[in-house]
Amino acid sequence: MLFLMGIGPVAAWSQDADKLLQQVKNKLALVKDYVAEGSMKTDIPFVKMADANVVVYFRQPDQFRVQRANGISILPKGGVQGSLHTILSNKSFTPVAAGNTNMDGKYLAVIKLLPVDEKSEIVLITLYVDEKTALVWHTSSTTRNNGTYETKLQYGKYASMGLPDQVQFIFNTTEFKLPKAMSVEYETGKTAKPATAAKDNKGRITISYKRYTVNKGIPNDIFK
Amino acid sequence: MWPILRIELFKIFSRPRTYISFVAITVIVALIQLALYVDGKNYIQFGMQSLTQGFDIEGNVLNGYLVCFIILQTLLIHVPLLIALVAGDAIAGEANMGTLRILLTRPVGRVELLLAKFAASLVYTLLLLVWMALLALFLSLFIFGKGDLMILKSEEVVVLAQNDVFWRYGWAFLFASLSMVMVAALAFLLSIFADNSIGPIITTMSIVILFTILTTLDIPFFQLLRPWLFTTHMLGWKAFFDDPIPWQAVSQSAAILLLHILFFAILGAWVFKRKDILS
């Protein structure tokens, strides 16, 4: 009896987590594909790069591409979960409720997602969800080979479809080193690090979306 | 002075060996462009290995701007040899042929003659660089197209937007001209001391090679020497591809190169004025 009393609330939480995750997925399912225009700010400790206009393409289930017109983009390997769709869609997870927390002035439900596939690259995903709107404001993904990534989302006029106005990816970086004999550098006498260097050795890529074109179809060659 | 300069320019450009440099640069640039056109992606992937381990690079990395940068990085170490071929021959060549004494019997001051010869060497040097710029920049842009310029430095990666690159090349070529004029001034000075053009040409190249090795070797002992080597300051053209441009350091390097040019020119004039011309 005591045992049943103990697991009762756990089962209820699990159902809540299932229900909330389904609500999030239902919202995301409204979008089959999108093309979004925006600007990208790259803040990686050893990279000096100006902000640039980008076009972001997404198509269900998990095709995602950030493109700079005639430009170069540097994105963390396997880490640009640019869309919640790419994190959640078509993957099997066991959701576990992990209570609630206050984050950036919002009271959010915490859901831990454990992948069903034991060989999955993702080991654990944590979602921070607003229960009223079923919007995900923060995610944290722990991967097998590429460290831990975080995503912070901000919503605005496209919130009804679960599309953010701003996404910030946060990822771990290591130092970049190239032998000086290879780079044959001009020495200025200063050893200052780049001005944009993050102090916590983390890289940040922020995409601010200006407008979305939703469910209008995307040519296949975009994702090749 | 203009009539003498015209004669000196005529002398330089009527010699077939003058054109060896233009042909050599054309061949080297064309070979680099061909190699990069055929197998550039593998070359770039190899160069970016340390970056692509953790990052996906999207976009046209191998564009005309990067090809030009690779060409300049490769060639600007070797161009001094081509410049020394002409500047090192300016006075020593005349001495070798036995025409220097006859030349000085004409009603022209020694300093005036020296300046005309030096100016002719500078015209040759600048034309060589303009030719190099035409091939390395404009031909590369024509073949490979435009794009952002990504430069890998020892501890950082700089990505410059394509509309922010062209003017930097303007400055870089201007600075490279200053560096090459300095090499021409050195070869010209050494030419005054010799009666055979091979001596100043080889000596100039030996100095440039030795100083370049000391500049590029990443050994702490040599780091103390680096600020005193003109080859360290000759790399200043690369500073224009940094963001922001270290104007103070570049101005300092340009001033040091200018001082070298002035010193070599004044010393050359002083020596030549007092030299007992026997050949």
Cβ pair B88, B18 in contact under 8 A: no
Query: CATH number, domain at A212?
Result: 2.50.20
Q: Are the Cβ atoms of A72 and B57 closer than 8 angstroms? A: yes
Q: pLDDT tens-digit profile of B65-82? A: 999 999 998 887 789 989
Give the range among A107-116, A185-194, B128-137, B163-172 with minimum mean pLDDT.
Answer: A185-194
pLDDT band at A8 (very low <50, low <70, confident <90, very high): very low
Residue B3 near chain A (CB below 8 Å):
no
Instruction: Give the contacts of B190 (CB within 8 A, at least 6 positions apart).
Output: B88, B92, B199, B200, B203, B204
**For residue A14, pLDDT beyond 70:** no
Chain B positions touching A184 (Cβ under 8 A) are 73, 216, 235
Confidence grade of residue A4 (pLDDT, cut at 50, 70, 90): very low
Using CB atoms within 10 A of its CB, is residue B72 exposed (0-12), middle (13-18) or buried (19+)? Answer: buried
**Chain B: closest CA distance from residue A79 (Å):** 9
- Indicate yes or no: CB of B236 within 8 angstroms of CB of A186: yes
What is the domain extent for residue B244?
Answer: 2-274
Coil, strand, or helix at residue B38? Answer: helix
- Assess if residue B192 is contained within a domain: yes
SS3 A203: strand
- Beta strands A148-155 and A93-103 are unpaired
Domain containing A134 equals 2-223
Question: Tens digits of per-residue pLDDT, A55-105?
Answer: 988 888 778 888 887 788 888 876 565 567 767 765 688 889 999 999 888
In the stretch 75-134 of chain B, residues with CB closer than 8 A to chain A read none
d(CA B241, CA A130): 46
Query: At residue A123, does pLDDT exceed 50?
Result: yes
Residue B205's pLDDT band, with cuts at 50, 70 and 90, is very high
B201 touches chain A (CB under 8 A): no
pLDDT-derived band at B259, boundaries 50, 70, 90: very high
The residues pairing with B231 across neighbouring beta strands, listed in sequence order, are none
CA separation (Å) from A207 to A17, A162, B153? Answer: 29, 16, 26
Judge: B158–A48 Cβ closer than 8 Å, yes or no.
yes
Say how many domains are in chain B: 1
The pLDDT assigned to A195 comes to: 46
Tell me, yes or no, whether B279 lies in a domain.
Answer: no
Number of domains in chain A: 1
**Position B189 pLDDT exceeds 70:** yes
pLDDT tens for residues B161-174?
Answer: 999 999 999 999 99
Q: For chain A, what's the residue count?
A: 224
Is B156 a member of any domain?
yes
Q: Rounded mean pLDDT of A140-160?
A: 87
Is the model more confident about B222 or about A9?
Answer: B222
pLDDT bucket at A119, cuts 50 / 70 / 90: confident
List strands edge to edge, sheet with A47-49: A47-49, B157-160, B149-152
Which residue, among B44, B58, B76, would best test binding to A if mutated, counting the most A CBs under 10 Å from its CB? B58
Whole-number percent of chain A with pLDDT over 70: 81
CB of B220 within 8 Å of a chain A CB? The answer is: no
pLDDT of residue B135: 95
A101 vs A114: CA distance, rounded Å: 20
Q: Which residues of chain B form beta strands (DSSP E)?
A: 55-58, 149-152, 157-160
Please tell me the least confidently modeled range out of A37-46, A114-123, A183-192: A183-192
Which tens digit of pLDDT belongs to each residue from A170-216?
988 877 777 666 666 777 765 545 544 455 778 899 999 999 998 88
Q: How many angstroms away from the CA of A115 is the closest CA of chain B?
A: 24
Output the pLDDT for position B54: 79
Position B108 pLDDT exceeds 50: yes
Q: What is the mean pLDDT of chain A?
A: 80
pLDDT per position as a tens digit, B36-58: 999 988 888 888 887 887 788 88
